């Protein structure tokens, strides 16, 4: 079949629209297929410092600086009894004009901005359009997708390459049998939003706070514009559902009573009403590409919200994918092998962050213990937690392994499927 587009992208979130932006900027014919109507709700509001690079490549920095999003300069940690660490200010390590200042975003607005940016660069976007299946030729190569809109009429679209940026839905890996869960990160998250609660002032107004609860659980506290705060708790399901509790509001309100800092900061606020719950969100795809198909963002891998790496990885993967697909289109060679470097780069970043997440959830581990014994490890920890993930951290992992076991790189890290 003659292709309708050079590239079809499933999903209009950060990874999909960033891929589309790069490709459209190069002049390729790109169509983004988004199931929902934007703006739409999404969790994941805190951007880490090294999100700056992908945003700059996308041309988004002037728009972010002109937005009303709350500026984020630091992160701090709070013990259950209310003891708070000194904030870590990013400018103590990074350039004040770039990486050292990031944002706390409202995802409905942020994702809309990314989508409009893709349109401005020449990408087409079809909202309220559901992709129902991948289309394949007799060899098994993906050649397009079947879609239907609000009218329910199904039709086929063909392209040189299909990119799955469907996020948590993981459209392709679920249907291809590639999805693999992570039993060590089988957590539950419950969250809601408060208006009028307490927050810091000046540089601390937009600070992310991670507040610990028993059994290696934690709260996030993310100040947003409009006097809103995103606040949630993450822990093992058996901990949050203890004593037979199944109601998200009951879980959440009970955990507030277990942390003095969270309870005190929310005491002046009013909950906006809805409580959200998700579980078993950590997973990877065995493969990142097959003939005619490439995975980006959460559709390839998603870890855990504890260090807020999700949006950065989604944007970075989209930019990387866009650059690699552009080269492949120019060369008229879209064989999966061309995307090996892309897959390995993304996997390396995910694997580095995954080791820190594993260590964080080990009850015997403390980052402070590592830095007290090896002061030079502090800089590497900071870089990794800030999103500078494609570096050799082997010395850091060796030091952490003196305190707790860490996983080796995943055995299903092969980036391609024949």
Same domain, 196 and 224: yes
- Distance between terminal CA atoms of the chain? 22
Q: Would residue 85 count as lying in a domain?
A: no
Nearest to 259 by CA among 230, 233, 237, 240: 233
Same domain, 315 and 270: no
Q: Would residue 171 count as lying in a domain?
A: yes
Neighbours of 120 (CB within 10 A): 12
> How far apart, in whole angstroms, are the C-alpha atoms of residue 91 and residue 99?
8
Please give the pLDDT value at position 86: 84
Same domain, 128 and 159: yes
In degrees, rounded to 5, the angle at the alpha carbon of residue 190 between the alpha carbons of residues 348 and 168 is 40
Q: Would residue 111 count as lying in a domain?
A: yes
Same domain, 351 and 233: no
Same domain, 269 and 293: no
Please give the pLDDT value at position 280: 66
Q: Would residue 198 count as lying in a domain?
A: yes
Same domain, 315 and 413: yes
Which residues, 6+ apart, have CB-to-CB distance to 180 below 8 Å? 283, 284, 285, 286, 412
CATH code at position 252: 3.30.9.100
Same domain, 243 and 193: yes
Q: How many domains does the chain have?
A: 2
Which of 264, 279, 294 finishes a domain? 279
Same domain, 255 and 299: no
Neighbours of 395 (CB within 10 A): 12
Q: Residue by residue, what is the 3-state secondary structure of the chain?
A: CCCCEEEEEECCCHHHHHHHHHHHHCCCCEEEECCCCCCCCCCCCECCHHHHHHHHHCCCHHHHHCCCCEEECEEEEECCCCCECCCEEHHHCCCCCCCCCEEECCHHHHHHHHHHHHHHCCCEEECCCEEEEEEECCCCCEEEEEEECCCCCEEEEEEEEEEECCHHHCHHHHHHCCEEECHHHCEEEEEEEEECCCCCCHHHCCCEEEEEECCCEEEEEEECCCCEEEEEEEEEHHHHCHHHCCCHHHHHHHHHCCCHHHHHHHCCCEECCCCEEEECCCEEECCCEECCEEECHHHCEECCHHHCCHHHHHHHHHHHHHHHHHHHHHHCCCCHHHHHHHHHHHHHHHHHHHHHHHHHHCCCCCHHHHHHHCCCHHHHHHHHHHCCCCCCCHHHHHHHCCCCCCCCCCCCCCCECC
Same domain, 112 and 122: yes
Query: Residue 193 sits in which domain range?
Result: 187-279
Please give the pLDDT value at position 183: 78
Is the sign of the CA dihedral 283, 286, 292, 296 positive or negative? positive
Beta-strand relationship, 228-236 and 276-279: unpaired
Which of 245, 279, 313 finishes a domain? 279
Which of 279, 300, 328 finishes a domain? 279
Please give the pLDDT value at position 282: 84
Q: Would residue 399 count as lying in a domain?
A: yes
From residue 211, give the alpha-carbon distance in Å to each of 167, 222, 381.
Answer: 27, 11, 19
> How far apart, in whole angstroms, are the C-alpha atoms of residue 391 and residue 352?
9
Which residues, 6+ apart, have CB-to-CB distance to 149 below 8 Å? 126, 128, 129, 130
Q: Would residue 318 count as lying in a domain?
A: yes
Beta-strand relationship, 228-236 and 187-195: antiparallel
Nearest to 255 by CA among 286, 221, 289, 280: 221
Same domain, 288 and 412: yes
Please give the pLDDT value at position 418: 44
Please give the pLDDT value at position 412: 44
Q: Would residue 101 count as lying in a domain?
A: no
Q: Would residue 92 count as lying in a domain?
A: no
> How far apart, in whole angstroms, are the C-alpha atoms of residue 171 and residue 179?
10
CATH code at position 4: 3.50.50.60
What tens-digit pLDDT sequence spans the chain (418 residues)? 799 999 999 999 999 999 999 999 999 999 999 999 999 999 999 999 999 999 999 999 999 999 999 999 999 989 888 888 888 999 999 999 999 999 999 999 999 999 999 999 999 999 999 999 999 999 999 999 999 999 999 999 999 999 999 998 999 999 999 998 887 888 899 999 999 999 999 999 999 999 988 777 899 999 999 999 999 999 988 889 898 988 999 999 999 988 899 999 999 999 998 999 988 678 889 899 999 999 999 999 988 888 899 999 999 999 999 999 999 999 999 999 999 999 999 999 999 999 999 998 888 888 889 999 999 999 999 999 999 999 999 999 999 999 999 887 665 444 555 4
> How far apart, in whole angstroms, are the C-alpha atoms of residue 256 and residue 86?
22
Same domain, 351 and 301: yes
Same domain, 48 and 5: yes
């Amino acid at each position: 079949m003659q292709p309708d587009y050079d590239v079809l992208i499933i999903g209009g979130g950060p990874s999909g629209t960033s891929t589309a932006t790069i490709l459209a900027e190069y002049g390729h014919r790109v169509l983004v297929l988004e199931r929902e109507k934007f703006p739409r709700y999404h969790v994941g509001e805190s951007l880490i410092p090294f999100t700056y690079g992908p945003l700059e490549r996308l041309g988004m920095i002037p728009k972010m600086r002109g937005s009303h999003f709350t500026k984020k300069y630091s992160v701090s940690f709070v013990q259950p009894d209310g003891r708070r660490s000194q904030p870590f200010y990013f400018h103590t390590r990074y350039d004040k004009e770039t990486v050292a200042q990031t944002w706390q975003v409202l995802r409905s607005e942020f994702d809309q901005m990314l989508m409009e940016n893709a349109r401005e660069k020449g990408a087409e976007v079809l909202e309220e359009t559901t992709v129902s299946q991948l289309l394949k030729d007799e060899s098994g190569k993906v050649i397009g997708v079947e879609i239907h809109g609000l009218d329910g009429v199904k039709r086929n679209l063909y392209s040189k390459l299909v990119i799955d940026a469907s996020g948590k839905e993981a459209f392709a890996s679920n249907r291809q049998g590639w999805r693999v869960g992570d039993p060590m990160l089988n957590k539950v998250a419950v969250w809601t939003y408060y208006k009028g609660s307490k927050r810091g002032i000046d540089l601390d107004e937009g600070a992310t706070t991670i507040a610990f609860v028993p059994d290696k659980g934690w709260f996030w506290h993310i100040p947003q514009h409009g006097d809103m705060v995103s606040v949630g708790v993450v822990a093992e399901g058996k901990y949050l559902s203890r004593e037979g509790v199944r109601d998200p509001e009951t879980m959440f309100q009970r955990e507030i009573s277990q942390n003095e800092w969270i309870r005190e900061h929310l005491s002046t606020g009013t909950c906006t009403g809805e409580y959200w719950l998700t579980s078993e969100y950590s997973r990877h795809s065995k493969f990142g590409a097959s003939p005619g198909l490439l995975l980006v963002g959460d559709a390839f891998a998603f870890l855990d919200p504890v260090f807020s790496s999700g949006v950065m990885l989604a944007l970075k993967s989209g930019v990387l994918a866009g650059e690699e697909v552009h080269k492949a289109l120019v060369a008229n060679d879209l064989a999966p092998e061309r995307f090996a470097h892309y897959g390995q780069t993304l996997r390396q970043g995910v694997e580095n962050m995954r080791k820190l997440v594993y260590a964080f959830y080990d009850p015997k581990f403390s980052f402070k213990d590592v830095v007290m014994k090896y002061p030079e490890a502090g800089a590497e920890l900071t870089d990794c937690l800030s999103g500078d993930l494609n570096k050799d951290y082997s010395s850091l992992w060796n030091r952490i392994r003196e305190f707790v076991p860490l996983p080796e790189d995943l055995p299903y890290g092969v980036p391609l499927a024949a």
